[in-house]
């Protein structure tokens, strides 16, 4: 379910030294947070017909069909909480209790974000009437605008898509659940994916029961849509390339216009000084990230910040060239067996994909 894209190759030595992410402390105004609630660059061109279902997983084919119908049903007038206007477009108003949202229930790498972005693209409404963002981005929006202003800003939307709904922070879960309740009353359709709760260690199990329980009164508004399968980023693909030498990474950083070059431990320290809501802005204009001295992440707080950065880099298709430890050894066994294990495995999967993308940066 990935799309091919051009990776910047080696070029003559840059006239200036590569930039350092550690030197950047971006400020993000609230209006930018609203304007950027669209699918990220990696998912600009995805559509239902570019999703490649695993032939061994019929649930993936079914998901495309159900979501296509759901999108088509959102083409009519905006619904209202009193049910007087149409909810599913050409169809009659939804009966009481009819789900007004879908929850994509599956493990990491089965293409949930691809499908969620495809739903956004397929919904027949102007981009200004559709919103797409991660749970973290939505909580950041509430923090920037305030609860009531966020309700007012999003209430006129046809659809709100929330990727990676966080179930591991009770306070944020209650906040967003309250927000979604207000938006449902205003007639906004919802679609979401989520992670698993802390302590739920079975990678093969799915999160719908946790999701529906944690959002409490909103549960009746969601139809769970299970998507089975393995991580597509590794389906039939070669293993991630081994790390390059520090000299190779440094040379590639100087030879690639728009590349950054940072010592990995220093970058981790810097992330602690930049709010995660700004990590997207931190990567503005980057064509590649080059890292030296990659080593194990020292603690869980640092690890969770790295997960957010990995997500932003993956969304923006920024190749990552690294020297040091392979990415599958970033997180300790304790982390990989703990409550946030799904996040860490997703980060490994995404960084591995970006490492493959970066191979062309190194002169052979």
Q: What is the pLDDT of residues 124-133, one digit of tens each?
A: 999 999 999 9
Both tokens of 64, joined, read 């495309």
Q: What is the pLDDT of residues 49-66, one digit of tens each?
A: 999 988 889 999 999 999
- CA distance to 259, 286, 287, per residue, from 7 (Å): 12, 12, 8
Burial class (CB in 10 A: 0-12, 13-18, 19+), 108: buried
Say if residues 321 and 288 touch (Cβ distance below 8 Å): yes
Q: DSSP letters along 189-245, please?
A: EEEEEE-PPTT---TTS-SHHHHHHHTGGGGGGEEEEE-----GGGTT-PPPPPPBP
pTM over 0.85: no
- Cα separation of 212 and 145, whole Å? 27
pLDDT of residue 198: 37
Which has more pLDDT, 240 or 281? 281
Compute the average pLDDT of residues 111-122.
95
Residue 1: pLDDT over 50: no
Q: Which of 166-175, 178-187, 200-209 has the highest mean pLDDT?
A: 178-187
| Residues in contact with 163: Cβ distance below 8 Å, sequence separation at least 6, in sequence order | 112, 113, 116, 132, 133, 134, 135, 192, 193
Mean pLDDT rounded to a whole number for the chain: 82
Which has more pLDDT, 269 or 35? 269
């Amino acid at each position: 379910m990935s799309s091919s894209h051009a990776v910047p190759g080696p070029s003559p030595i840059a006239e200036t030294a590569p930039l350092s992410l550690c030197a950047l402390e971006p400020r993000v105004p609230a209006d930018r947070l609203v304007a950027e609630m669209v699918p990220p660059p990696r998912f600009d061109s995805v559509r239902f017909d570019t999703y490649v279902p695993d032939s061994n997983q019929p649930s993936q084919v079914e998901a495309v069909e159900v979501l296509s119908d759901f999108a088509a049903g959102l083409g009519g007038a905006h619904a209202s909480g009193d049910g007087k206007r149409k909810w599913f477009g050409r169809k009659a108003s939804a009966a009481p209790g009819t789900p007004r949202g879908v929850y994509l229930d599956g493990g990491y790498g089965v293409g949930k974000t691809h499908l969620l972005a495809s739903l956004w693209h397929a919904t027949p409404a102007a981009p200004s009437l559709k919103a797409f963002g991660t749970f973290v981005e939505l909580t950041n929006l509430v923090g920037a605008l305030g609860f009531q202003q966020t309700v007012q800003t999003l209430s006129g939307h046809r659809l709100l898509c929330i990727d990676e709904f966080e179930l591991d922070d009770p306070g944020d879960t209650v906040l967003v659940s309250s927000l979604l309740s207000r938006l449902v009353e205003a007639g906004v359709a919802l679609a979401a994916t989520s992670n698993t709760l802390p302590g739920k260690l079975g990678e093969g199990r799915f999160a719908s029961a946790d999701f529906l329980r944690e959002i409490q009164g909103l549960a009746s508004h969601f139809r769970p849509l299970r998507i089975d399968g393995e991580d597509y980023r590794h389906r039939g693909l070669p293993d991630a390339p081994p790390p390059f030498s520090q000299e190779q990474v440094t040379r590639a950083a100087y030879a690639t216009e728009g590349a950054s070059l940072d010592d990995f431990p220093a970058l981790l320290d810097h992330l602690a000084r930049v709010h995660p809501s700004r990590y997207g802005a931190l990567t503005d204009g980057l064509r590649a990230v080059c890292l030296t001295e990659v080593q194990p992440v020292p603690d869980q707080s640092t690890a969770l910040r790295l997960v957010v950065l990995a997500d932003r880099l993956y969304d923006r298709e920024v190749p990552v060239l690294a020297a040091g430890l392979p990415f599958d050894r970033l997180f300790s066994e304790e982390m990989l067996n703990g409550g946030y294990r799904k996040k860490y495995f997703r980060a490994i999967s995404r960084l591995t994909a970006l490492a493959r993308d970066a191979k062309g940066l190194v002169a052979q």
